[in-house]
Structure 1
Amino acid sequence: MRSDTVITASTVTLVSVAVGFVAYQADVVLAPLTLGLFIIAIVWPLQNALQKRVPALLALAITMVATVATIVIFTSLAVWGFGRVGHSIVTDSMRYQAIYAQFVNWLDEHGISIAGLWAEHFNVGWLLRRAQAITGRLNGTLSFWLITLLYVILGLMEVDSLQRNAKAFLSPESSRALLAASAETTRKFRKYMEVRTLMSLATGALVGIFAWGAGLPFALEWGVIAFVLNYIPFIGPFVATLFPTLLAMTQFDSWQAVVAIFASLNVIQFVIGSYLEPLVSGRVLAISPSLVLLSVFFWTWIWGLYGAFIGVPIALAILTFCAHYPSSRWIADLFGGSAPQESTKGS
């Protein structure tokens, strides 16, 4: 029994490493494909409802227009918020330089020298290389989304035929398990986005109100940034608390005020992410927090920003499919979040 457990664990580890290697090497194809499948699961109910009333191609056109409009709105919000804040940070660059000089002098007085390290690794050449990398990434982003939308169009056209083929060419048990797992996965994806949207709205509203009450400039922009970034677990909320803190460094004279702003923003993120979100999602999206953290950072390393966004849905899909097959159900039981507590007799 013990040897079987070791063999199973070793097999799972080797398969995970192999999948990660293939995903890293084939990111140009697999990253947009995975995101496309996720979008298909979200928008399929709209497509299915429309094509019962209008021709399939017209339903597809309406669905794609709605999808692209949603993507453009979210992108525009992010660009607007970061653009406004970024312009202010560039304008206050001299003040940040003065803060940096004070920090370096304080470290020098305590026997810690970082000026040489900064000059060696963070010079003008480094800044130019980073700017070129960002420009290249922006150019690649357009191609990425075009490929993703192409996958979405082709996938929406094939959903019905794939369901028929599964019933026709697979055994009844296999087709039943596959279709049931697929249906539950899409249901969880939609629930995930519903919960994430509600929590993002709450986070954006609270951050904007707090920024306005604390006297931080760009309160509306900070709320919009917090709303958009909250769709990326862990990394997004951290960035949404870091940038307002950086702005606070030029707005307040005491470090206590800066620390208080940073702590308050983290409290908002913690309460919503660790209390309200599990309360709203319930057992439908129950998943081990350690697996959430691992998924976010693993897929961020594999696919960058898109991996950070899609990491948790990938974990949800894997757990859902594992739960529908007896041989892999133990994986879903192990990483499916905390088990519901049994009622204690005599309490």
Structure 2
Amino acid sequence: MASLTGVNKSLIIFAALVVVLAGIKAASVIIIPFILAAFIAIVCNPLIKFFGRYRIPKGVSVVIVVLIIVGLGVSLGGLVGQSVNDFSQQLPEYKAQLKEEFVWLVDLASQYNILIDRDQILSMFDPGKMVDVATNMLTGLGGVMANMFLIILTVVFMLFEGPTLSKKIHMALADPDRKMEQIDRFLASINSYLAIKTLVSLGTGVIAALYLWILDVDYFVLWGVLAFMFNYIPNIGSIIAAVPAVLLALITQGPLTAGLVGAGYLIINTVMGNIVEPKFMGKGLGLSTLVVFLSLIFWGWLLGTVGMLLSVPLTMIVKIALEASDEGRWVATLLGTGQSIDEK
């Protein structure tokens, strides 16, 4: 059989990629819980290692971690679920008040000879839809978490299999002597990235919730959870997470409190994203802003709400895998921020 030319090889790879993506989308009902379980298992793996240092049996460690996950999930899920229900009931009223505030801004602009067609602007820009984006994503995530038993069960098996995963990959790739350092770097990078990102996101959500509680903003727990989840999406996520809290503060407490909420979110995300996170993670795992935006659209289309929330971690896994191979390193460079090129 004659060797494939460059063009034919590219077409075959592209066709295979389309088939794989179509299969993933068709099987998303099964794949999404599996991805969530893998994500939770990777985040919880450092806890298993921590318990292992004190010679706690593996089975006991897994049971403790699962109990922690279930306890946090049930308690936090109850609070967030109640907040989402209450907020959804008040949402039509909030939307009407937002439109009134926006109309007031249009009238204020007309006093300074800035003529704006009110009806046209309202048809193009509905501030209530910004709130809908956040609440719909929370509702969609709640639907996925309905498979909680399946996810927890998968997490348990993954935690038991975790220590042998590296050895199995080496054996599968005909590398029983563990000479392929790229595999170890790949697995270590994924564990490190997801663990650090989760801790930073957790800190961001807790600080945001406390700040909103101090300002007496309604549903501060809900907005804290939203800040935690959307912190996985750099740049764009912090804006999406801040908009509902700012708009709610605007219609319930006025422009001053809304401005304080916006300034607080700006400071929190700047400190956590530009100071705390790079200190522990380093600058070598960055993605360009364009790639972040495109990954949000792509993974959201492929995997729904879970894909949008985990779009950057999933893209980072692809980038780390590409960096571990000589053939794919050029693609990883295109996905990056270009800082290494500027330094050279």
Same fold (TM over 0.5): yes
**Could you report, residue by residue, the CA deviation over 1:247-276 in whole angstroms, capped at 9, with x for unpaired residues?**
24534677xx69856864664466347633
- Conserved? CA contact 1:166–1:175, under 8 Å: no
Distance 1:293 1:192 in 2: 18
Aligned to 1:172: 175
Distance 1:295 1:310 in 2: 10
Once the 2 structures are TM-superposed, how far is the Cα of residue 170 of structure 1 from its aligned partner? Answer: 3.4
Distance 1:77 1:315 in 2: 31
Aligned residues: 323
Instruction: Please give the secondary structure, in 1, of the residue aligned with 2:328.
Output: helix
- Conserved? CA contact 1:41–1:190, under 8 Å: yes
1:81-120 to 2 correspondences below 5 Å: 81-82=83-84, 85-86=87-88, 89=91, 95=97
**Could you report, residue by residue, the CA deviation over 1:219-268 in whole angstroms, capped at 9, with x for unpaired residues?**
844763554344442565334322234324534677xx698568646644
Aligned to 2:203: 198
Distance 1:69 1:236 in 2: 27
Distance 1:7 1:111, change over 3 A: same
Distance 1:8 1:340, change over 3 A: farther
Once the 2 structures are TM-superposed, how far is the Cα of residue 194 of structure 1 from its aligned partner? Answer: 2.5
Distance 2:169 2:16 in 1: 25
Distance 1:259 1:334 in 2: 39
Distance 1:334 1:74, change over 3 A: farther
Aligned to 2:66: 64
- Structure 2: gaps (5+ residues): 109-114, 125-134
Distance 1:72 1:57 in 2: 22
Task: Look up the equivalent residue of 1:243 and give its one-letter code.
Answer: P
Task: Look up the equivalent residue of 1:191 and give its one-letter code.
Answer: I
Match of 2:148 among 145, 148, 155: 145
Instruction: Please give the secondary structure, in 2, of the residue aligned with 1:144.
Output: helix
Distance 2:140 2:245 in 1: 25
Once the 2 structures are TM-superposed, how far is the Cα of residue 162 of structure 1 from its aligned partner? Answer: 3.8
Alignment pair present for 1:319 and 2:323: no
**Could you report, residue by residue, the CA deviation over 1:177-221 in whole angstroms, capped at 9, with x for unpaired residues?**
46412233222221222233334344445x527x72xxx643844
- Conserved? CA contact 2:62–2:159, under 8 Å: yes
Q: CA RMSD in A?
A: 4.7
Distance 1:336 1:94, change over 3 A: closer
Aligned to 1:127: none
- Conserved? CA contact 2:44–2:65, under 8 Å: yes
1:180-259 to 2 correspondences below 5 Å: 180=184, 181-205=186-210, 207-208=211-212, 212=215, 217-218=217-218, 220-221=220-221, 224-225=224-225, 227-233=227-233, 236-251=237-252
Once the 2 structures are TM-superposed, how far is the Cα of residue 148 of structure 1 from its aligned partner? Answer: 1.9
Aligned to 2:275: 276
Distance 1:138 1:343 in 2: 41
Aligned to 2:160: 157
- Conserved? CA contact 1:96–1:250, under 8 Å: yes
Task: Look up the equivalent residue of 2:195 and give its one-letter code.
Answer: R
Instruction: Please give the secondary structure, in 2, of the residue aligned with 1:326.
Output: coil
Task: Look up the equivalent residue of 1:244 and give its one-letter code.
Answer: A
**Could you report, residue by residue, the CA deviation over 1:88-109 in whole angstroms, capped at 9, with x for unpaired residues?**
5567677568668989999xx9
Distance 2:225 2:139 in 1: 23
Normalised by the size of structure 2, how large is the TM-score?
Answer: 0.70
Segment drifting more, 38-47 vs 74-83: 74-83
Distance 1:314 1:14, change over 3 A: farther
Distance 2:294 2:63 in 1: 37
Distance 1:20 1:97, change over 3 A: same
Distance 1:90 1:174, change over 3 A: farther
Task: Look up the equivalent residue of 1:186 and give its one-letter code.
Answer: N
- Conserved? CA contact 2:236–2:293, under 8 Å: no
Aligned to 1:301: 301
Instruction: Please give the secondary structure, in 2, of the residue aligned with 1:283.
Output: coil
Task: Look up the equivalent residue of 2:289 and give its one-letter code.
Answer: P
Distance 1:309 1:36 in 2: 14
Segment drifting more, 316-325 vs 164-173: 164-173
- Conserved? CA contact 1:77–1:228, under 8 Å: no
Distance 2:193 2:137 in 1: 34
Once the 2 structures are TM-superposed, how far is the Cα of residue 26 of structure 1 from its aligned partner? Answer: 1.0
Aligned to 2:40: 39
Distance 2:163 2:104 in 1: 65
Distance 1:41 1:51 in 2: 16
Distance 2:96 2:201 in 1: 38
